[in-house]
Structure 1
Amino acid sequence: MLQSYHRVCIEKKLKSKKAGGVILLEYFKKRKAWKQEISEQVKKDRAKRKERKQEISVLPEAEKKAAMNSDKLLRKEQKQQRKEELKSLSRKERKARKKEIKMYKKIKNRPRRIAGWSAAAILLLIVGVTLGPTALSAVENMTGKHINIDTTSAEAVKAREAADAISEEIANEGIVLLKNENNSLPLADKKLNIFGSNAFSFKYGGGGSGGADQTRAVPLFDALESAGIQYNQELYDYYASLPELEGAAGEADAGFVQVVKGMLGGAETAGEPDVSDAALAQAKEYSENAMIIIQSDSVEASDVSSDQLKLSEEMHALIEKVAETFSNVTIVVNAGNTLELGVVEEFPSIQSVLWVGTPGPFGTVSLAKVLSGELNPSGRITDTYVYDVGSAPASENFGDYRYENLDKAYLNYEEGIYVGYRFYETYYQGNEEGYKETVQFPFGSGLSYTTFDWNITEQQLNNESIQLQVEVTNTGEVTGKDVVQVYYSAPYTQGGIEKSAINLASFSKTQLLEPGETEVVTINFDTRDMASYDMKNENYILESGTYQIKLGKNVHEIDSTLDFELADDIVYETDADTGTEYKNRFTESENELTVLSRNDWEGTYPSDEDDSKIASDKVIERVQGHEFHDDVEMPVTGAENGLKLEDLKELDHDDPKWDEFLDQLTVDQMIEYVTEGAYHTGAIDELGIPNTVLMDGPAGFNFFFKKFEAGAYPSEIVIASTWNHELAYEMGEVVGKEAKAYGIHGWYAPALNIHRSAQGGRNFEYMSEDPVLNGMIGANLSKGSEDQGVIVFMKHFIMNEQETNARSGMLVWSNEQAMRELHLRPFEITVKEAGVTGAMSSFSYIDGKWANPALLNGMLREEWGFEGVVSSDAVFGFMEPQKAITSGNDLMLDILSVPNNQKQLEEAYANHPEAITAGLRNSMHNSLFATLQTYLFD
Structure 2
Amino acid sequence: MLQINMADVIAVLNSIAPHLIAIGIVLALAVIITVAVNRRTVADTATRKLVHAESWLAVMVAAVAAVSMMLFGPLATLLNNASTERYMLSGETVAAANDLAEEVQSEGITLLKNDDGNLPLQNTKVNVFGWASTNPVYGGTGSGSMNATYPTVSVLQGMANAGLETNEELSEFYTDYRADRPVVGFWDPDWTLPEPPASSYGEELMGNARDFSDQAVIVITRVGGEMADLPTDMTADGVIYTDNSTEYADFAEGEHILQLSQSERDMVDLVTSNFENVTFVYNGANAFELGFVDDYPQIKSVIWCPPAGQTGFTALGEILAGTVNPSGKTSDTFVYDLTATPTWNNFGDFHYDNMDDYAVDYLDFRGVETHNTPTFVNYVEGIYVGYRYYETAADEGAIDYESTVQYPFGYGLSYTTFSQEMGDVTYSDGTVSFDVTVTNTGDVAGKDVVEVYYNPPYVNGGIEKASANLVAFDKTDELEPGESQTVSISFDDDDMASYDENDAQAWVLEAGDYGISIRSDSHNVLDEATVTVPETITYDSEDNTHNGDQTVATNQFGYAEGDVTYLSRADHFANYDEATAAPATYSMSEESMAMFLNNDNYDPTEYDDPDDAMPTTGADNGVRLADLRGADYDDPQWDQLLDQLTFDEMDNLIANGGYGNAAIDSIGKIALVDLDGPAALNNNFTGVGSIGFPASVAFACTWNVDLATEFGDMMGRMARELNATGWYAPSINNHRSAFAGRNFEYFSEDPTLAGVMASGEVAGAQAQGVYAFVKHFALNDQEANRQSMLCTWATEQSIREIYMKPFEITVKDGGTTAIMSAYNYIGPVYAGASANLLTTVLRDEWGYQGVVISDYFLGQGYQNADQMVRAGNDFMLATTDITNHITDESATSVIAMRQATKNLLYTAVNSWAYENGEPESATPIWQTITYVVIGVAAVLFVGLEVLAVKRYLSRRAAARNADARG
**TM-score scaled by length of structure 2:** 0.80
Counterpart CA distance in 2 for 1:361 and 1:774 is 23
Which SS does the other structure have where 2:756 is aligned?
helix
In the TM superposition, residue 514 of structure 1 has moved relative to its aligned partner by: 1.0
In the TM superposition, residue 463 of structure 1 has moved relative to its aligned partner by: 5.5
In the TM superposition, residue 126 of structure 1 has moved relative to its aligned partner by: 5.6
Contact 1:673 1:681 in 2 (8 A): yes
Amino acid at match of 1:323: T
Partner of 1:471: 437
In the TM superposition, residue 603 of structure 1 has moved relative to its aligned partner by: 2.4
Partner of 1:168: 102
Partner of 1:884: 868
In the TM superposition, residue 607 of structure 1 has moved relative to its aligned partner by: 4.2
Amino acid at match of 1:901: N
Partner of 1:247: 180
Contact 2:136 2:155 in 1 (8 A): yes
In the TM superposition, residue 430 of structure 1 has moved relative to its aligned partner by: 5.7
Counterpart CA distance in 2 for 1:151 and 1:789 is 18
Deviations 1:225-282 (A, max 9, x none): 221111112222332333xx1334xxx86xxxx7xx4244545444544333332222
Aligned residues between the structures = 801
Contact 1:547 1:563 in 2 (8 A): yes
Q: Which blocks of at least 5 consecutive residues in structure 2 are unaligned?
A: 21-69, 233-255, 356-372, 916-966
Contact 1:147 1:679 in 2 (8 A): no
Matches within 5 A, 1:478-877: 478-536=444-502, 537-573=504-540, 574-589=545-560, 591-600=562-571, 601-605=573-577, 606-607=579-580, 609-624=582-597, 625=602, 628-630=607-609, 631-850=611-830, 851-876=833-858, 877=860
Counterpart CA distance in 2 for 1:122 and 1:740 is 31
Q: Quick one: structure 1 residues 276 and 429, their matched pair in 2 at CA, closer, same or farther if it must change by over 3 Å?
A: farther
Contact 1:466 1:524 in 2 (8 A): yes
User: Identity over the aligned pairs, expressed in percent?
Assistant: 37
Which SS does the other structure have where 2:119 is aligned?
coil
Matches within 5 A, 1:100-139: 132=17
Deviations 1:655-698 (A, max 9, x none): 22211110111111111111110001111112111111111121
Contact 2:425 2:529 in 1 (8 A): no
Partner of 1:191: 125
Which SS does the other structure have where 2:491 is aligned?
strand
Which SS does the other structure have where 2:871 is aligned?
coil
1:405 is aligned to 2:376? no
Deviations 1:468-523 (A, max 9, x none): 21111111111111111111100110000000011001111001111111111111
Deviations 1:157-204 (A, max 9, x none): 322222212111101111111100001000111211111110111111
Counterpart CA distance in 2 for 1:463 and 1:328 is 55
Q: Quick one: structure 1 residues 741 and 705, their matched pair in 2 at CA, closer, same or farther if it must change by over 3 Å?
A: closer
Contact 1:209 1:704 in 2 (8 A): no
Contact 1:197 1:273 in 2 (8 A): no
Counterpart CA distance in 2 for 1:579 and 1:140 is 40
Deviations 1:359-378 (A, max 9, x none): 21122100100111100001
Amino acid at match of 2:873: N
Partner of 1:55: none
Q: Which of 139, 144, 153 is the aligned partner of 1:205?
A: 139
Q: Quick one: structure 1 residues 143 and 266, their matched pair in 2 at CA, closer, same or farther if it must change by over 3 Å?
A: farther
In the TM superposition, residue 124 of structure 1 has moved relative to its aligned partner by: 5.6
Counterpart CA distance in 1 for 2:106 and 2:79 is 36
Q: Quick one: structure 1 residues 322 and 891, their matched pair in 2 at CA, closer, same or farther if it must change by over 3 Å?
A: same
Which SS does the other structure have where 1:351 is aligned?
strand
Partner of 1:362: 311
Q: Which of 384, 387, 397 is the aligned partner of 1:418?
A: 384
Counterpart CA distance in 1 for 2:446 and 2:82 is 48
Amino acid at match of 1:492: Y
In the TM superposition, residue 122 of structure 1 has moved relative to its aligned partner by: 6.1
Q: Quick one: structure 1 residues 285 and 138, their matched pair in 2 at CA, closer, same or farther if it must change by over 3 Å?
A: farther
Contact 1:811 1:848 in 2 (8 A): yes
Counterpart CA distance in 1 for 2:842 and 2:789 is 21
Contact 2:507 2:546 in 1 (8 A): no
Contact 2:331 2:749 in 1 (8 A): yes
More helix by share: 1
Counterpart CA distance in 1 for 2:686 and 2:791 is 33
Counterpart CA distance in 2 for 1:373 and 1:432 is 41
Counterpart CA distance in 2 for 1:195 and 1:143 is 49
Q: Quick one: structure 1 residues 333 and 587, their matched pair in 2 at CA, closer, same or farther if it must change by over 3 Å?
A: same
In the TM superposition, residue 577 of structure 1 has moved relative to its aligned partner by: 2.1
Partner of 1:145: 81
Contact 2:422 2:528 in 1 (8 A): no
In the TM superposition, residue 447 of structure 1 has moved relative to its aligned partner by: 0.5
In the TM superposition, residue 709 of structure 1 has moved relative to its aligned partner by: 3.7
Q: Quick one: structure 1 residues 350 and 269, their matched pair in 2 at CA, closer, same or farther if it must change by over 3 Å?
A: closer
Contact 1:750 1:792 in 2 (8 A): yes
Contact 2:561 2:794 in 1 (8 A): no
Q: Which of 434, 437, 441 is the aligned partner of 2:407?
A: 441
Which SS does the other structure have where 1:811 is aligned?
strand
Counterpart CA distance in 2 for 1:353 and 1:457 is 34
Contact 1:151 1:157 in 2 (8 A): no
Partner of 1:44: none
Which SS does the other structure have where 1:623 is aligned?
coil
Counterpart CA distance in 2 for 1:809 and 1:705 is 29
Contact 2:102 2:313 in 1 (8 A): no
Contact 2:742 2:783 in 1 (8 A): yes
1:326 is aligned to 2:275? yes
In the TM superposition, residue 405 of structure 1 has moved relative to its aligned partner by: 2.3
Amino acid at match of 1:534: D
Which SS does the other structure have where 2:343 is aligned?
helix
Q: Which of 173, 186, 190 is the aligned partner of 1:262?
A: 186
Deviations 1:807-866 (A, max 9, x none): 222111111000000001101111000111100000011232112000000000000000
Which SS does the other structure have where 1:380 is aligned?
coil
Matches within 5 A, 1:150-161: 150-152=86-88, 156-161=90-95
In the TM superposition, residue 120 of structure 1 has moved relative to its aligned partner by: 6.3
In the TM superposition, residue 899 of structure 1 has moved relative to its aligned partner by: 5.2
Which SS does the other structure have where 2:425 is aligned?
strand
Counterpart CA distance in 1 for 2:4 and 2:904 is 33
Q: Quick one: structure 1 residues 159 and 151, their matched pair in 2 at CA, closer, same or farther if it must change by over 3 Å?
A: farther
Q: Quick one: structure 1 residues 676 and 579, their matched pair in 2 at CA, closer, same or farther if it must change by over 3 Å?
A: closer
Contact 1:469 1:520 in 2 (8 A): yes
Contact 2:561 2:795 in 1 (8 A): no
Counterpart CA distance in 1 for 2:517 and 2:447 is 20
**Backbone CA RMSD of aligned residues:** 2.2
Q: Quick one: structure 1 residues 120 and 456, their matched pair in 2 at CA, closer, same or farther if it must change by over 3 Å?
A: closer
Matches within 5 A, 1:316-395: 316-395=265-344
Partner of 1:111: none
Counterpart CA distance in 1 for 2:143 and 2:318 is 30
Q: Quick one: structure 1 residues 129 and 722, their matched pair in 2 at CA, closer, same or farther if it must change by over 3 Å?
A: same
**TM-score scaled by length of structure 1:** 0.82
Contact 2:109 2:327 in 1 (8 A): yes
Counterpart CA distance in 1 for 2:688 and 2:4 is 21
Counterpart CA distance in 1 for 2:135 and 2:340 is 30
